[in-house]
């Protein structure tokens, strides 16, 4: 009788041990399943989101790339173009006012070595794109006043191209243009016409203030292109005329040249017919509009 009792005792202990193991295993399995449904499944998307955010933070600045596209393939990046009516109007007002003021008083800020017809356009373009604060007025000298709001979209002192806003070669814009010399602080008459403006008309009635007039004298080897700036109505000493232009006569080793302000109706009677801004004059190329205004 003792043997059966001794045999049954180990079996009960074994069964108890098996039961404990079974219950523990089931509990662990349930806990693991719950962890997957809550902790891991909820944590996985968060991990992916964090990883995506990290990748975005380490990726190149997509906004900068977007700014340096040339959607109209005119060679000028979109960020350098004035896309609102307000900015285009402000630019025209500052551009023409600064150019016109040079007729009355040359600014010390205009480099004496760059005082020629294209130099006048470059100078007025650059200064029109700056912030016109008290310091600017002090630097420019007497004779200047606020003529419009500042250009909002493009600040010459804070833009991807810096002072090198003039294109020097054909083609649509590529980021490599910023490194290979296709943009410069300098642009002669040929570059202003070919790469930085587009033909508008030969009819002055369709011209707008700030448009450029180009003349071409092929026998003048060094500077065959001559440029004038169309003002429209004069801001200073107006007489009711709507066809004023301002230009620099050009410089030479013996003559520094000068800035002139005259009506087109007067130039129509110029003694030399090559300088008459009329459609019948082959040397008159017409009115061109800066690409930043297109």
In the block, residue with structure tokens 């997509």: 62
User: With 80 as the cut, is the pLDDT of residue 53 above it?
Assistant: no
Residue 165 backbone zone (phi > 0: left; psi -120 to 50: alpha; other: beta):
alpha
What's the mean pLDDT in 59-85?
76
User: Are 110 and 99 spatial neighbours (Cβ–Cβ below 8 Å)?
Assistant: no
Share of the chain above pLDDT 90, in %: 63
| Closest to 123 in 3D by CA, of 84, 94, 85 | 94
Lowest-pLDDT range, 18-22, 37-41, 153-157, 172-176?
A: 37-41
Strand-pair category, 284-290 with 212-216: antiparallel
User: With 80 as the cut, is the pLDDT of residue 36 above it?
Assistant: no
In our burial notation (b when 16+ CB lie closer than 10 A, e otherwise), range 64-93 reads eeeebebeeebbbbbbbbbeeeebbbbbbb
213-230 pLDDT, tens digit each: 999 998 876 789 999 999
User: With 60 as the cut, is the pLDDT of residue 73 above it?
Assistant: yes
| Closest to 141 in 3D by CA, of 83, 101, 197 | 101
Q: Note the pTM of the prediction, 2 decimals.
A: 0.76
Lowest-pLDDT range, 69-73, 106-110, 121-125?
A: 69-73
162-175 pLDDT, tens digit each: 999 999 999 999 88
Q: Is the dihedral of CA 278, 280, 281, 287 positive or negative?
A: positive
User: With 50 as the cut, is the pLDDT of residue 152 above it?
Assistant: yes
User: Are 97 and 147 spatial neighbours (Cβ–Cβ below 8 Å)?
Assistant: yes
User: Are 224 and 217 spatial neighbours (Cβ–Cβ below 8 Å)?
Assistant: yes
What's the mean pLDDT in 121-148?
96
User: With 90 as the cut, is the pLDDT of residue 183 above it?
Assistant: yes
């Amino acid at each position: 009788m003792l043997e059966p009792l001794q045999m049954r005792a180990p079996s009960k202990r074994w069964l108890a041990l098996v039961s404990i193991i079974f219950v523990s295993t089931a509990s662990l399995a349930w806990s693991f399943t719950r962890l997957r449904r809550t902790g891991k499944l909820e944590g996985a998307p968060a991990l992916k989101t964090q990883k995506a955010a990290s990748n975005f933070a380490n990726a190149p600045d997509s906004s900068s790339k977007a700014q340096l596209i040339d959607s109209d393939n005119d060679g000028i990046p979109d960020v350098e173009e004035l896309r609102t009516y307000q900015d285009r109007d402000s630019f025209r007002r500052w551009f023409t006012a600064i150019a016109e003021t040079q007729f009355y008083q040359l600014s010390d800020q205009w480099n004496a070595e760059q005082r020629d017809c294209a130099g006048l356009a470059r100078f007025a373009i650059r200064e029109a794109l700056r912030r016109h604060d008290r310091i600017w007025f002090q630097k420019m000298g007497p004779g200047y006043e606020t003529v419009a709001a500042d250009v909002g979209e493009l600040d010459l002192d804070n833009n991807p191209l810096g002072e090198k806003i003039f294109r020097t070669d054909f083609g649509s814009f590529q980021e490599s243009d910023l490194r290979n010399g296709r943009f410069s602080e300098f642009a002669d008459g040929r570059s202003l016409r070919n790469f930085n403006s587009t033909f508008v008309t030969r009819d002055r009635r369709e011209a707008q203030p700030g448009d450029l007039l180009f003349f071409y004298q092929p026998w003048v080897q060094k500077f065959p292109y001559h440029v004038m700036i169309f003002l429209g109505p004069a801001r200073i000493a107006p007489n009711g005329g709507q066809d004023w232009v301002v230009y620099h006569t050009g410089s030479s080793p013996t003559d520094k040249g000068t800035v002139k302000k005259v009506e087109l109706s007067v130039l129509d009677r110029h003694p030399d017919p090559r300088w008459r801004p009329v459609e019948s004059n082959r040397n008159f190329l017409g009115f061109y509009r800066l690409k930043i205004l297109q």
